[in-house]
Amino acid sequence: MRQFLKTTFILAAVQLYIAGSVFAASVDSAPSAATPFVICNNQRYALCAEASCFTYNSVAYCKCDIKRGDSISLQLSYSSPQGQQNVCDINQEGKHNGYMVSTFSLPNNVKKGGTAAVYTCPGSANAGSGVAAPVAYGQCDGAICFTSSRGQRFPGFDGRLRHYEDMCSCPISTDATAGSSDSAGYQIFGPYDPSASAGSRCDASACAACSVPSPTDNGTTIPVGAPTGTGEFLALTLDGPPPPVLNQCLCTCSQTPGVNGGITCTLGADITP
């Protein structure tokens, strides 16, 4: 299983480059044709990897954490009067203009021994005797986030946002979205209890998020996600080798008999190395 997942990291990266979607930039990082990714050095950015999202009018509004440091993203380049610009330039411009951009770095708590894990919502190659999970998640790489939302209330979330949180507007990935999953499905983050006994560390509630019905309906809650292997691939690209060792949980999904039978996902196995 470990080798299978490692293979999908490369496949996911290629797929993301072609499809133009991924999770998650240096002010002096110029756009380059050599790589689809760019690293933003020592910038303030929004980290949405572990975010929960409220859907409204076919947009996912995700509560993300505000971070500072190095992060990675697709370049998302465009032409401007100042020349070629990329996601790092946009994020830097937002520093004094009330916004920031969602880019990616690996949350420390998903590393082995931490209190969170990467949950794999299965695809055709790892569904076992079950079925592939329906695709339903917020895709937040390059999302614009508004600093005015800090300390405020937002529909779908209890209480006020904390000073280190803001809301980001992200497109919703579904089965109809090109590049939203691969043969190994897609991944989301969820809670993990490293102090529990073996077999009890993963949380079934995270796997339930692999089968959210009607993800684009107003008021639905969905997680942020990405094709399987994306997070570890980007972490390796950003931070260099060795690859991080992560808490990992595999979900399993079943379908109610019938052509239009609903799909339900639950906990499969803890596959943490």
Tokens of 22: 């991924």
Residue of 229, 184, 241, 243 whose CA lies nearest to 10: 229
Residue of 115, 102, 126 whose CA lies nearest to 227: 126
- At residue 44, the pLDDT reads 98
CB-CB contact of 154 with 167 (8 Å): yes
- At residue 24, the pLDDT reads 32
pTM, full prediction? 0.87
- At residue 102, the pLDDT reads 98
Query: H or E element: which one contains 156?
Result: none
Alpha helical stretches, state H, the chain: 2-19, 87-93, 204-208, 230-239
Rounded distance between C-alpha atoms, residue 117 and residue 178, angstroms: 26
- At residue 163, the pLDDT reads 96
- At residue 260, the pLDDT reads 76
The dihedral built from the CA positions of residue 40, 45, 46 and 47, taken in this order, carries a sign that is positive
Q: For 148-189, what is each residue's pLDDT tens digit?
A: 999 999 999 999 999 999 999 999 999 999 999 999 999 999
Number of domain units in the chain: 1
**Biggest alpha carbon–alpha carbon distance for the chain:** 59
Q: Token match 């916004």: residue?
A: 99
Which residues of the chain fall short of a pLDDT of 70?
1-34
- At residue 75, the pLDDT reads 96
Q: Provide the residue range defining the domain that includes 242.
A: 2-270
46 three-class SS = strand
- At residue 35, the pLDDT reads 77
- At residue 34, the pLDDT reads 62
234 three-class SS = helix
Q: What 3 state SS string does 112-123 have?
A: CCCCEEEEEECC
